[in-house]
Amino acid sequence: MDNGARGKLLAPVAWAAMGGIGVVLLWDGTDNVPGVREILAAFRELVAQGVLVRYTVASLFRVTAGFYLAVAVSVPLGLFLGRSRAVNGILNPVIQFLRPISPLAWIPFALVWFGIGDRPAVFIIFLASFFPLLVSSTNAAAAIHPMYFQVAANLHFSAWERFRYVVLPASIPSVILALRVTLGVAWLVVVAAEMIAVKSGLGYLIIDSRNALRMDYVIVSMITIGAIGLGLDYFMLRLEGLQSLRWKLGQR
C-alpha cells in the first residue's frame, strides 16, 4: 500500500480522534451525568477488576462467530443464486419476506431454542448479517458482464473454473463493501442481544450498570463500543484497499 492510500485510510481516524478530543474537552457532567474525571475513574475500576476486558472479549467472540458463520453460508449461496435464475426465482420470495424482519424480533425464539448463553446471541448476529450479505452477493454475481462467461466458454472452463476465475473475483469488490456495512450492523445487534439473552458482554454491562445506577459504567461501556466499532470499520476499510482483492469495476 503506497503512502497516498495509507494517508487516505488514516485521515478518517485522525479526524475521529480530533472529534473525540473535542468532546472530552467540552464535556461537563451534571447531577445525572458523570463528568470526565468520574468516567476516567470508572474506566480504571472496570479495567482493574478485569470486567471491561472480559466483557469486551465476550462481545467480540459473539460477533466473530455469528458474522463468520453468516459469511460462510450467505456469500457462497448468494453467488450461486446470482448465477441461477431458476433457483433464485424460487427462493427470492422467501428471502424478501424474511429479510425485513428485525433480528431482534427473533430473540424470543432464540431463547426458546438455545436458552441463555452465547448461542442465542450468535444466532441473532448470524441473522443480522446473513440477509444483507446474501442479497449483496446475489446482486454482485448477477451483475457480471456476459462477455466474461463467453470468454470462459471459448476457453472451455469447467463450472468450478468459471466460479473461481470469473464469478468470485468479479464479485469480491461488491462483497467487501457489504462486509464492511454488515459488520457494523452485527456490532450494533450484539449489544442489543446481550441486554436480553446473555449475562456477559458490553450490552449486559450497560443494562446491569443502569440497574445499579452506575451511569459512569454505562458511559464507559458506550465509549468502548464506539471505539471498537471505529476499529472494526477501519479494518474493513483497509481490506477494501488491498490491491489483491480488486477487479476494475469499470470493466464489468
**CB neighbour class for 17 (10 Å; exposed up to 12, middle 13-18, buried from 19):** exposed
pTM of the predicted protein model: 0.79
Domain count, the chain: 1
9 within domain boundaries? no
Give tens-digit pLDDT for 82-117: 888 889 889 999 999 999 998 888 988 988 898 888
Q: What is the CATH number of the domain that holds 50?
A: 1.10.3720.10
Distances (CA, A) of 211 to 66, 101, 129: 28, 29, 30
Is 169 a domain residue?
yes
Domain holding 134, by residue range, is 35-251
Answer whether residue 14 is part of any domain: no
Q: Does some domain include residue 5?
A: no
Q: Decide if 157 is inside a domain.
A: yes
| Neighbouring residues of 114: CB distance < 8 A, sequence distance ≥ 6 | 120, 123
Q: Is 152 within the bounds of a domain?
A: yes
Per-residue pLDDT band for 193 (boundaries 50, 70, 90) equals: confident
- pLDDT tens by residue, 155-182: 888 888 888 888 888 888 888 888 888 9
20 lies in some domain: no
Q: Is residue 44 part of a domain?
A: yes
